[in-house]
A and B are shown apart, each in its own frame.
Chain A
């Protein structure tokens, strides 16, 4: 089959050497210049991250979540020693109760009982002063008329008024106090457990079984409230179905109804407020619209329509500029021929859109009115204030606003610490899993800042300085998010290996093929020659 052909004359040795030299020179350039250059240009900068402490935080090993609660006991009719003894006893009973394992109660008697200057001050001033240092003040008074002890919380300041009859009860006052104090913190305790459930921070000693109703309530609270932000923008909008009313005395109404609440919340959040009036607001075409009920002579809005009530396409409810979420409050005035408008089934007029805001229907008594006065708006503003407290996550109980706000501070701090820790854990897993991802120095800086702030937050919380703990936790959470969502890293995540092949093959393939082939050829020849020589 093969044709016999005379082989070419043998090559001269010097030619072979020249060829090898050329080949060697080419490979030399590739190895000495090309490879280092390629390595240098494609190497990625990975800063050192404190992976161990990040994981420790994520696993909840660093910080034990414990909330010290300072309670001051004031017993005017009892002596100094007696008060202190009662305080010590109550503290012992409370801490041994094991109903509130997350809380560490420190109960002290009010030492400025009789002699100090403070005693001369009016009682509400004393309460305000004391509430700066203490979470709760218990005021005990003797009352000979009652049979069983009674307790009542003041609505604005953290004071628990207790009246008891010393003649009738001897030993049970301690138990009563312990029960009442634990009642004050029971909702918060439940919520904390709900927060900590299924996180590494969950305490092993205490396993709480919530009843389904309690669990549903806690879930609803979480889904309704906004994620914590340092600033919330509040937008109050008057939507009018026709052309009037076209004015409202909103400044006065806000001052009466909303500002007091905002002032109380100001240590936790900042608020900006803007208002607007929108005429000719029509319903979204996706809802059925209100139906006339001839029995009650009312227009009724069906339940399925409530979720689509906000006509997002037409109503200008764009979020405010600047960081922080916008909470919308919509006051809707139906047109004359659809008034009064109420919700079917309940007959109510307001509802909350979770994590968005509140809606309220306003049926003016006088249908011809063109301007709504502050007096008209007062009930609406009170409803809005109530909705606002739900939307910023204020706990529904206890009844004292001050206690609710301090409870909110603790809850928010806890959830921020949880969120920052889990972000740190996720970041550490991410950097370990994606080895080709770059880690800029800014990420390392953010991470170390996060850890520092988390330490601070944890420390301050254990010291009972909740506001500065919240401040630190918030910064920690912001820094952690910044580190995790670093733009240069996000881009790298979606740069798979296949992509690299697709880039390199067309680039290097044409160059590499002759180089490699000629090297192989030369090596083969070398071996043949060696075989021949042998």
Chain B
């Protein structure tokens, strides 16, 4: 429970920030939290706001112009974009940061509420949106076509006050923009990389040159065990007198889990090597034959780490010169843990004996050093996740297969979850085989696939009984693709996007949390019947050879004719000529 509070801390700070009414606000925050198993969670969040008036007049201060223009052009009211890599290890690390609200399925995930009066228009704007974002973030978002787009009904709720926003827009522009439509797309195959981080940093006011964003370095971010980047834009309206006042908020987050030992290896010598024997603490309780080897003492207590070593660069001075009234950096460690602050900054807040907060200095670097230490108190236990989920493909052969999802509720209260699958068209589920081992399906929304046009959308509202494991299974058939539809490296398999699981807030009288949270399964690889593409090449190569030979034959014939005319007296030629004549005569 405690950990959940800590990890949720950035979110609470955010909500406090949002309460502030000053448009053109900018806040950034870094939350650090050592995790069991020698890992460190680092959650960066950057928030900027702009008033609706400046947004409509297109005057941007901290809100990035490049993104705002896209939103303006495509009439996007709310946007959520995720770039994710790796898997959050729930068993070791506990519940997810930010309640899973700021993470996505492996690869890229995008969902947005678009204003449009017609279905067709919404699709056009969606296509404009993915294409522009694709250019902005250097990602293959433009591959989110109609076949990869779904319109979930239960899984997502808008975070912003969209209704008020629309009313305001209508008043300003004088015309209604039509209904809001939610579209959702996933690209599980996309490899998130530095080229996505650079445009992400460019959207920030300080661009990684000052403030906490100066820690973000592609080498370290993408070397982490789990990493997710998110961009969220939403309108926030609050009543002021009789009317509403709206502003647009952008929140960018980078969350990652770094291995402290691995990240602190020197940049120029990243390969781990055995230490010289003098530096190893030997286990003296064992007997040794020689001096050159020994058993090292088992590692005890907390690992030593330094902020600048972990991220490979120092944290530079605070981003904006005007002093902020919220803490820039917070560190969640027990109060007994020694923390050395290498800076002019002062510890401003000890918190509930487990969180320390720091202001960044205005003109010098900031660093934290935590020495190796054995804590008297026991390891804090990590909060168990609300639901565990895993998903596999079963079966064998090239024709059929099955999907098998395990949902485990570890809590002594029943939970409602919404399970969203968006499957590509070449995976054809047999919905009549859909079965649940325990629990009940309360609602089902199912959109069947259309070949090459639309994928399957399956949304289930499932009740998970207390302390139970529920298995969800269905069978499917694999379609056969056309020659040109195979991607490069088709034998690797086809990526199936992650299933999105939304855990609804439970009954608080039973002790269930009142906040909803999200989790996603890993994405899957589906092997499809793949032709041997080399056959085609071989055929072509054979034909080429044939043509080349026939041409060479013609040329050679010409040449030899010429030669025989010139050197007809040569005896060698005659000798060569004879067997030919012989052959001819036969």
Contacts and interface: CB of A to CB of B under 8 A. Distances in A.
Contact of A314 (B73, B207, B547): B207
B585 A322 contact: no
Interface in B535-586: 543, 547, 581, 585
A280 B24 contact: no
A34 to B, nearest CB: 22
Interface string B47-71: 0000000000111111011100110
A99 interface: no
A243 B62 CA distance: 12
B252 to A, nearest CB: 14
B69 A320 contact: yes
Contact of B60 (A244, A277, A320): A277
B322 interface: yes
Interface in B4-57: 24, 57
B297 interface: no
Contacts of A276: 59-61, 65
Given A274-B60, A316-B65, A246 B320 contact: yes
Interface string B131-168: 01000100000000000000000000000000000000
Contact of B58 (A244, A273, A280, A505): A273
B322 A370 contact: yes
Given A316-B64, A316-B66, A506-B543, A275 B209 contact: no
Contact of A246 (B61, B207, B210): B61
Interface string B111-129: 0000000000000000000
Contacts of A18: none
Contacts of A275: 58-60, 65
A121 interface: no
B322 A314 contact: no
Contacts of B70: 321
Nearest to A272: B58
Interface in A327-371: 370
B321 interface: yes
Contacts of A370: 321-322
Contacts of B59: 250-251, 274-276
Interface in B304-345: 319-322
B487 to A, nearest CB: 24
A282 interface: yes
Contacts of A506: 543
B206 interface: yes
A30 interface: no
Nearest to B203: A316
Contacts of A505: 547
A278 B207 CA distance: 9
A243 B61 contact: no
Contacts, number: 73
Contacts of A279: 205-207, 319-320
A506 B319 CA distance: 66
B202 interface: yes
Nearest to A322: B73
Contacts of B136: 318
B57 A243 contact: no
Contact of B585 (A2, A277, A314): A2
Contacts of A278: 205, 207
B202 A243 contact: no
Contact of B202 (A235, A242, A314): A314
Q: Say which size band chain B's interface belongs to.
A: 20 to 34
Identify the interface centre among B64, B203, B321, B585: most chain A CB within 10 Å of its CB. B321
A1 interface: yes
A262 B36 CA distance: 63
A500 to B, nearest CB: 15
Given A314-B202, A321-B70, A280 B65 contact: no
A1 to B, nearest CB: 5
Nearest to A246: B320
Contacts of B64: 316
Nearest to A273: B58
A515 interface: no
A247 interface: yes
A201 B206 CA distance: 55
A283 B543 CA distance: 57
A430 to B, nearest CB: 30
A243 B319 contact: yes
Given A243-B206, A244-B321, A321 B132 contact: yes
Interface in A268-303: 272-280, 282
A225 B81 CA distance: 39
Nearest to B540: A506
Contacts of B57: 251
A321 to B, nearest CB: 4
A280 B69 contact: no
Contacts of A318: 66, 136
Nearest to A242: B321
Interface string A238-259: 0000111011001100000000
A335 to B, nearest CB: 12
Nearest to B199: A316
B546 to A, nearest CB: 9
Interface string A93-126: 0000000000000000000000000000000000
A350 B12 CA distance: 47
Contacts of B319: 243, 279
Interface string A215-251: 0000000000000000000010000001110110011
A280 B210 contact: yes
Nearest to A318: B66
Contact of A280 (B62, B73, B207, B543): B207
Interface in A475-513: 505-506
B61 A321 contact: no
A275 B61 CA distance: 8
A280 B209 contact: yes
A111 B516 CA distance: 82
A235 B59 CA distance: 10
A416 to B, nearest CB: 27
Nearest to A321: B73
A466 B65 CA distance: 37
Nearest to A282: B209
A224 to B, nearest CB: 25
B206 A321 contact: no
Nearest to A244: B321
Interface string B269-292: 000000000000000000000000
A505 B540 CA distance: 12
Nearest to B205: A279
B543 A243 contact: no
Nearest to A277: B61
B585 A247 contact: no
A242 B206 CA distance: 9
B545 to A, nearest CB: 12
Contacts of A247: 24, 61
B452 to A, nearest CB: 22
Contacts of B202: 314, 316
Interface string B515-547: 000000000000000000000000000010001
Nearest to B319: A243
A321 B322 contact: no
B69 A321 contact: yes
A243 B210 contact: yes
Nearest to A2: B585
Interface string A1-43: 1100000000000000000000000000000000000000000
14 contacts: A1-B581, A243-B210, A246-B205, A251-B57, A273-B58, A274-B60, A278-B205, A280-B209, A314-B202, A314-B207, A316-B202, A321-B132, A322-B73, A505-B547
Interface of A: 1-2, 235, 242-244, 246-247, 250-251, 272-280, 282, 314, 316, 318, 320-322, 370, 505-506
6 A-B pairs with least C-beta separation: A274-B58, A276-B65, A280-B209, A321-B73, A243-B321, A276-B60
Given A246-B322, A277-B62, A279-B206, 6 more contacts: A235-B65, A272-B58, A279-B207, A320-B69, A322-B73, A370-B322
